[in-house]
Structure 1
Amino acid sequence: MRLFAFATVAALGVLALTGCTAGDTGGDTGDGSDAAAVTDVPIIVPADPGGGWDQTGRAMSSVLTSEDIVNSAPVTNIGGAGGANGLAALANETNPDTLMVMGLVMVGAVETNASEVRLEDTTPIARLTDEALVIVVPAASEYETLQDLVDDILENGQDVTITGGSAGGADHILAGLLLEAAGLSSDEIASSLNYIPNSGGGEAVSLILGNNVSAGISGVGEFVEHIESGDMRALAVSSAERVEALPDTPTIVEEGYDVTLTNWRGVVASGSIDDAQRNALELVVTEMHDSEAWASELETRGWADAFLVGEDFDEFLTDNIAEVQTTLKNIGLVA
């Protein structure tokens, strides 16, 4: 099965994005003000330091301030529950210029955590990046190939431990899709997959480097330095083609499993902001995206440019939520 988190997908249902009215992304915000009125943009990272959301939030903060797009862009980490804690904090935020980093991980975590506050309650601003995931093992692992890892899970089930980001997030979904491609039913996946979630990428790295888990899954950018140092062994990447940062690592498809999944990230604002406030934030983020400094961040971190704003991002998010709901049921991660 293939789950494309970045491609445009067919609508699987209509989900109302409450508080999310698409606005004009032109220069005038509609009330006589413009993006220049946005001078400070607090950024909520709904995870502990060290992971992809944290990297994204801090890259945004650096570019927004170094390019003089805003005066300040302080980052606040609010970890836990796959981003649901950060989502709840955004719902109570009174500053209309506050942005929260989110993405595919949060789409899944909202479902598995049965979060009271949902992404439909926010205002989508922009999709920013897209990144392949990589399946790794500790350097001393007996697994030399992805087939070795899958065979051991099929034989020994929950004795094989896999760590990654939050429950129901992209890493967890990829593990489930891999076992589905290996021939397991949703019930068999639920009984065989021993997935250890974390609230930040740093925790997963510690578990893998400490040889406390059998394998790990995360974005390439979070593991690449440990792969290059020889402390981790990369078994496969989840993109359709090999990634530039790990040219010798095969894709999951090359390893014989029909699975492709990429992890997109973006930003949303409070669901209570009006059209003018939304337009102003869209202009700020668009100016950041169009800068050479942001292009440099993408290249340095190995992120693909996946920029969408306005109605295009609204439609993408609606479809992605429906797609993830279906996938999580198919692989037994939610009832």
Structure 2
Amino acid sequence: MKQRLKRLIPIAVLALLIAGCSSDEVNEDGASEWKPEKPVEMVAPARAGGGWDTFARVVSNAIMEQELMEQNIGVINKPGGTGAVGWAYIQNVNDPHHIFSTSTTMVFSMLAGNSDYNWDDMTPIANLAADYGIIAVRADAPWDSLNELLEDYKENPDSITVVGGNTPGGFDHVQFISLAMEAGIPMEDISYVTDQSSGGLPVLLNGTVDVLTSKLGSGAVEQHRAGNIKILAVLSEERLDSEQLAEFPTAVEQGYDTVFVNWRGVYGPGGMTDAQVAYYEGIMRDISESEQFEAIRKQFGWDELFMGSEEYTEFIRQEVETNSVIMEELGLLAK
């Protein structure tokens, strides 16, 4: 009996050690591997129907339909503070089974001081697309071009109101401010209101405001196709290749230099292991290279812009540097 106990004790100790270790496994090359042990939440740090929500849902749907993940993945919405509520949720939960959709708006929002967290507090996983900014008006609006709108704005600034889905200092606000200032409109003459709850389209359509500053992927394309709005300009360098979007003129071809691209990617909480990042990065790469996601990009007017975690991290650093200058020039950089 004593001999049997001696043999069992090391086995029991080993079992305890294994139970206390990470769920990461080791592959043939000696590198650790990880995969989710429970359903994954894709957090959209915004309302349902907006750009972050749309991106989160098409990515999650693609993962499920292509059976890229053994566990289920679902979308939850955490709106508020131009992303701040969602980021706080991610950091407080601090679990690699909770990842979130993001975009250029995150950098602008953090630079504006909307959140207690910044880009270094969380983990870049991968970027999948580029979504360009747009300027739109109702179908019955008197302006048929960007030039007509901005010329009228210069002459009658008190009669025109602009709406965006971000608070002042966010992507929507900054892109319109940059464009208007290039047209010679003083920043103090611009009347900008925020509609975080619905992104601005409903208040544009009901006549409360006159102009929408947003992104192609925010639902504007669908409203244009329905005949409810006119997209006066896309803030891309050239007209987009998609047959569905090639009709939209750029601000550049109308005489302006303003180009604003809203990259769209996936982040996770801070402190993710290399194995956890590699797992999600591989899935996002598979999605980006799929025919299904190519069709999705064409549908929403997104360009292909895949970056893995390492490249994405460096890209974000450059974005922060560039946009810090823009925000400071506009007087919107948080002190």
| Structure 1 unaligned residues grouped into runs of 5+ | 1-26
State percent identity of aligned pairs: 30
Match of 1:182 in 2: 183
Superposition CA RMSD, Å: 2.2
Aligned partner of residue 211 in structure 1, secondary structure: coil
**1:114-154 CA distance string (max 9 Å, x none):** 42111210011011110122211111212222122212322
Aligned partner of residue 316 in structure 2, secondary structure: helix
Aligned partner of residue 251 in structure 1, secondary structure: coil
- How has the CA–CA distance of structure 1 residues 144 and 302 changed in structure 2, closer, same or farther, with 3 Å as cutoff? closer
Match of 1:166 in 2: 166
Q: Any residues of structure 2 matched to 1:297-308 within 5 Å, and which?
A: 297-308=296-307
Q: Which amino acid aligns with 1:217?
A: T
TM-score of the superposed pair, with normalisation by structure 1: 0.84
Match of 1:47 in 2: 46
Task: Compute the displacement of 1:63 (Å).
Answer: 0.9
Task: Compute the displacement of 1:248 (Å).
Answer: 2.6
- How has the CA–CA distance of structure 1 residues 197 and 74 changed in structure 2, closer, same or farther, with 3 Å as cutoff? same
Task: Compute the displacement of 1:92 (Å).
Answer: 0.9
Aligned partner of residue 325 in structure 1, secondary structure: helix
- How has the CA–CA distance of structure 1 residues 36 and 290 changed in structure 2, closer, same or farther, with 3 Å as cutoff? farther
Q: Distance in 2 between matches of 1:101 and 1:223?
A: 19
Q: Distance in 2 between matches of 1:152 and 1:140?
A: 16
Query: How many equivalent pairs are there?
Result: 304
Q: Distance in 1 between matches of 2:291 and 2:249?
A: 31
Q: Which amino acid aligns with 1:284?
A: I
Task: Compute the displacement of 1:206 (Å).
Answer: 0.5
**Is it true that 1:247 corresponds to 2:246 in the alignment?**
yes
**Is it true that 1:259 corresponds to 2:224 in the alignment?**
no
Q: Which amino acid aligns with 1:118?
A: N
Q: Distance in 1 between matches of 2:81 and 2:230?
A: 28
Match of 1:106 in 2: 106
Q: Distance in 2 between matches of 1:214 and 1:306?
A: 32
| Structure 2 unaligned residues grouped into runs of 5+ | 1-25
Match of 2:230 in 1: 233
Match of 1:273 in 2: 272
Residues 29 and 276 in structure 1, CA contact (< 8 A), matched pair in contact too: no
Q: Distance in 2 between matches of 1:230 and 1:46?
A: 30
Q: Any residues of structure 2 matched to 1:130-149 within 5 Å, and which?
A: 130-149=130-149
TM-score of the superposed pair, with normalisation by structure 2: 0.84
**1:169-221 CA distance string (max 9 Å, x none):** 2221210111221135xxx31x1121222225x44110111011111022223
Q: Distance in 1 between matches of 2:58 and 2:28?
A: 26
- How has the CA–CA distance of structure 1 residues 31 and 158 changed in structure 2, closer, same or farther, with 3 Å as cutoff? farther
Residues 126 and 285 in structure 1, CA contact (< 8 A), matched pair in contact too: yes
Q: Distance in 2 between matches of 1:141 and 1:273?
A: 49
Q: Which amino acid aligns with 2:300?
A: R
**Is it true that 1:122 corresponds to 2:119 in the alignment?**
no
Tell me which structure has the larger Cα radius of gyration. 2
Q: Which runs of 4+ in 1 moved over 4 A?
A: 27-33, 35-39
Higher relative contact order (CA 8 A, sep 6+): 1
